[in-house]
């Protein structure tokens, strides 16, 4: 371009597709500000958007234009975060929503309606199990669980003609019992089902589920993506990998995606690989309304700029702390797949790789530790901590601790908690960015009370 001073200057880059992860987490989704030259994409605090003319309004409402109508379905600030996350996960499009629970709900409501069925692996976040057992049940969507993902016969028994999706997590919360995504993806393909994966604890800095066979990825962006615990949010990423029309031909219909709208065609006709994301945005997020505040969207795309740097620190500290904990006499066990002592270590090493120091696999910073003495031991340990925050939440710069049996899993039947490994002495740790030496000293003070 030629500047006002007559200088020939290269145009700023806007396409970051071929750049490395660390570059894309800083730049993907940016757009040039033509008014004042703002370097950081601003917060677009507007509920609605002006139409160019009468026909532009017609085109937007008819779906012939993807320009925004109202911030319930899209906002320029959130659009930066959406484009950035889609790039980092290797997807074709993303949809930002108001929370992680909203992301899971919208992702699955796009696929299933009342009378339909979903199959999930058993070890998932307690709040998701509550969502499935309470709200999904009230909406007429059944959810069944597979306890042994390695057992083909169990998958065969669980999947029905009206099953519409398989759901799992990369690193289940709270026990860090990593899942074999490639194997579950093979099951999903065999049954013509989309695989939906919650990658909140893994984050695309550690694992990208689409590369392992997932079709849709969901996040609670409140956690590692934003990184500082100041903004609640969620997101859905469309991998663009699932053949919706082939699934329909095989007897699994997804009407929000494949039904033909007069004069427009289906979502597949209009949006190709991004059909699922567009259906989620138009037919679920727009209708139900779990829109993300643009202020929180701004904090999200700012947070992603440092994602890989933070995750390396989270993982390194977690490995050091987990290795120390399993040597302490007050500790019965440490559930952390990244430790060489873990029965899941080979899978963790295969899918997550090793740290630069080679101390273990990079399986995040949320894991379980079982202290002696059951609930009384857990109470004494938690009450003795002064650096770890006693609170719900994970993925913060600050370290946190919670007792799952009396919090996230308090409403589950005892036999369910027993099968999930939620024992009386189990604590969930989320290791933050503080000095690992200081965190170990704090944990030692807690264990002294046990």
> DSSP 3-state helix, strand, coil percentages of the chain (rounded to 5)?
40, 15, 45
Same domain for 316 and 262, yes or no, is no
Over residues 152-175, the mean pLDDT reads: 97
Domain finish residue from 304, 332, 365: 304
Same domain for 315 and 292, yes or no, is no
Same domain for 357 and 222, yes or no, is no
Asked, for residue 17, whether it belongs to a domain, the answer is: no
Give the pLDDT of residue 40.
85
Question: What residues contact 156, with CB distance under 8 A and at least 6 apart?
Answer: none
Vertex 109: Cα angle to 164 and 169 (nearest 5):
70
**Burial of residue 183, with CB atoms counted within 10 A of its CB: 0-12 exposed, 13-18 middle, 19 or more buried:** middle
- CA-wise closest residue to 318 among 301, 298, 300, 335: 335
Same domain for 95 and 215, yes or no, is yes
Task: Give per-residue pLDDT as tens, 95-105.
Answer: 999 999 999 99
Same domain for 101 and 80, yes or no, is yes
Domain finish residue from 276, 304, 332: 304
115 touches 91 (CB < 8 A): no
Task: Give per-residue pLDDT as tens, 304-344.
Answer: 999 999 999 999 999 999 999 999 999 999 999 999 999 99
Strands 389-390, 366-371: pairing is unpaired
Residue 411 phi/psi, 5° resolution?
-95, 0
Same domain for 298 and 340, yes or no, is no
Question: What residues contact 166, with CB distance under 8 A and at least 6 apart?
Answer: 118, 119, 120, 159, 184, 187, 188, 191, 193, 194, 195, 196
Asked, for residue 87, whether it belongs to a domain, the answer is: yes
Q: Which of 195-208 are b and which e, b meaning 16 or more Cβ less than 10 Å from the residue's Cβ?
A: bbbbbbbbbbbbbb
Asked, for residue 241, whether it belongs to a domain, the answer is: yes
Give the pLDDT of residue 161.
97
Alpha-carbon torsion 69, 74, 78, 82, what sign? Answer: negative
Same domain for 346 and 222, yes or no, is no
Same domain for 217 and 177, yes or no, is yes
Place of tokens 């620190």: 313
Number of domains observed in the structure of the chain: 2
Count the neighbouring beta carbons within 10 Å of the beta carbon of residue 148: 11
Domain finish residue from 304, 327, 351: 304
Over residues 79-83, the mean pLDDT reads: 97
Q: What percent of the chain has pLDDT over 70?
A: 99
Task: Give per-residue pLDDT as tens, 249-264.
Answer: 999 999 999 999 888 8
Structure tokens at 258: 């494949």
* Distances 434 to 342, 400, 429, 439, 441 between C-alpha atoms, Å: 25, 11, 13, 7, 12
Same domain for 288 and 313, yes or no, is no
The dihedral region occupied by 213, where left means phi > 0, alpha psi between -120 and 50, and beta the remainder, is: left
For residue 137, give the CATH number of its domain: 3.40.640.10
Give the pLDDT of residue 37.
76
Q: Read off the pLDDT band of 220 (50, 70, 90).
A: very high
420 touches 409 (CB < 8 A): yes
- Determine which of 43-52, 64-73, 167-176 has the lowest per-residue pLDDT on average: 64-73
Q: Which of 270-307 are b and which e, b meaning 16 or more Cβ less than 10 Å from the residue's Cβ?
A: ebeebbbbbbbbbbbbbeeebbbbbebbbbbbbbbebb
Asked, for residue 15, whether it belongs to a domain, the answer is: no
Same domain for 288 and 382, yes or no, is no
Same domain for 42 and 56, yes or no, is yes
Give the pLDDT of residue 3.
62
CA atoms in the 13 A half-sphere facing the CB of 169:
26
Asked, for residue 2, whether it belongs to a domain, the answer is: no
Distance CA 107, CA 258 (A): 16
Asked, for residue 62, whether it belongs to a domain, the answer is: yes
Question: What residues contact 400, with CB distance under 8 A and at least 6 apart?
Answer: 388, 389, 390, 391, 392, 393, 394, 429, 430, 432
Task: Give per-residue pLDDT as tens, 407-436.
Answer: 999 999 999 999 999 999 999 999 999 999
Place of tokens 């499009």: 93
How would you list the strands of the sheet with 163-169, edge to edge? Answer: 93-97, 234-238, 216-220, 195-198, 163-169, 117-121, 142-146
Same domain for 50 and 199, yes or no, is yes
Task: Give per-residue pLDDT as tens, 166-176.
Answer: 999 999 999 99
Give the pLDDT of residue 81.
97
Structure tokens at 310: 């933070």
Q: Does the pLDDT at position 1 exceed 70? A: no
- CA-wise closest residue to 296 among 220, 237, 365: 220
For residue 381, give the CATH number of its domain: 3.90.1150.10
Which pTM value belongs to this model? 0.96
Average pLDDT across the chain, whole number: 95
Count the neighbouring beta carbons within 10 Å of the beta carbon of residue 89: 25
Give the pLDDT of residue 317.
98
Q: What percent of the chain has pLDDT over 90?
A: 90
Asked, for residue 3, whether it belongs to a domain, the answer is: no
Quick one: three-class SS letters along 123-190? CCCHHHHHHHHHHHHHCCCEEEEECCCCCHHHHHHHCCCCEEEEEEECCCCCCCCCCCHHHHHHHHHH
Asked, for residue 123, whether it belongs to a domain, the answer is: yes
Give the pLDDT of residue 10.
83
Give the pLDDT of residue 411.
95
DSSP 8: B
For residue 407, the enclosing domain spans 307-449
């Amino acid at each position: 371009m030629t500047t006002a001073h007559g200088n020939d200057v290269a145009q700023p880059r806007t396409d970051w597709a071929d750049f490395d992860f660390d570059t894309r987490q800083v730049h993907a989704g940016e757009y040039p500000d033509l008014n004042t030259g703002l370097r950081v994409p601003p917060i677009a605090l507007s509920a609605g958007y002006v139409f160019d003319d009468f026909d532009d309004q017609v085109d937007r409402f008819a779906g012939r234009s993807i320009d925004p109508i109202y911030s319930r379905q899209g906002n320029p600030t959130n659009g930066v975060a959406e484009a950035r996350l889609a790039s980092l996960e290797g997807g074709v499009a993303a949809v930002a929503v108001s929370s992680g629970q909203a992301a899971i709900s919208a992702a699955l409501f796009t696929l299933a309606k009342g009378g339909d069925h979903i199959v999930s692996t058993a070890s998932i976040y307690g709040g998701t199990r509550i969502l499935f057992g309470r709200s999904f049940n009230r909406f007429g969507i059944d959810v069944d669980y597979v306890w042994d993902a390695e057992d083909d016969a169990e998958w065969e028994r669980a999947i029905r003609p009206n099953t519409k999706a398989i759901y799992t997590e990369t690193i289940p919360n709270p026990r860090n019992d990593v899942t074999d995504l490639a194997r579950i993806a093979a099951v999903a393909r065999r049954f013509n089902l989309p695989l939906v994966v919650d990658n909140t604890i893994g984050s695309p800095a550690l694992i990208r589920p689409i590369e392992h066979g997932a079709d849709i990825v969901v996040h609670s962006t409140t956690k590692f993506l934003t990184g500082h615990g100041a903004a609640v949010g969620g997101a859905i990423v469309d991998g663009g990998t699932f053949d919706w029309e082939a699934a329909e031909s095989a007897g699994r219909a997804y009407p929000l995606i494949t039904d033909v709208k007069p004069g427009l065609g289906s979502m597949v006709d209009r949006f190709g690989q991004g059909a699922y994301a567009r259906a989620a945005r138009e037919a679920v997020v727009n209708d139900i309304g779990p829109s993300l505040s643009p202020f929180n969207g701004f904090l999200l795309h700012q947070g992603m700029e440092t994602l890989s740097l933070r995750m390396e620190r989270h993982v390194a500290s977690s490995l050091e702390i987990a290795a120390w904990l399993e040597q302490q006499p007050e500790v019965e066990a440490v559930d952390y797949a990244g430790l060489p002592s873990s029965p899941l270590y080979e899978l963790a090493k295969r899918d997550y790789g090793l740290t630069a120091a080679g101390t273990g696999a990079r399986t995040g910073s949320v894991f379980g530790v079982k202290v002696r003495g059951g609930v009384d031991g857990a109470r004494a340990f938690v009450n003795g901590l002064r650096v770890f925050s006693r609170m719900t939440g994970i993925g913060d710069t600050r370290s946190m601790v919670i007792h799952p049996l009396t919090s996230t899993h308090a409403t589950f039947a005892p036999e369910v908690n027993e099968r999930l490994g939620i024992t009386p002495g189990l604590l969930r740790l989320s290791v933050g960015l503080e000095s690992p030496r200081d965190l170990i000293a704090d944990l030692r003070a807690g264990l002294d009370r046990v």
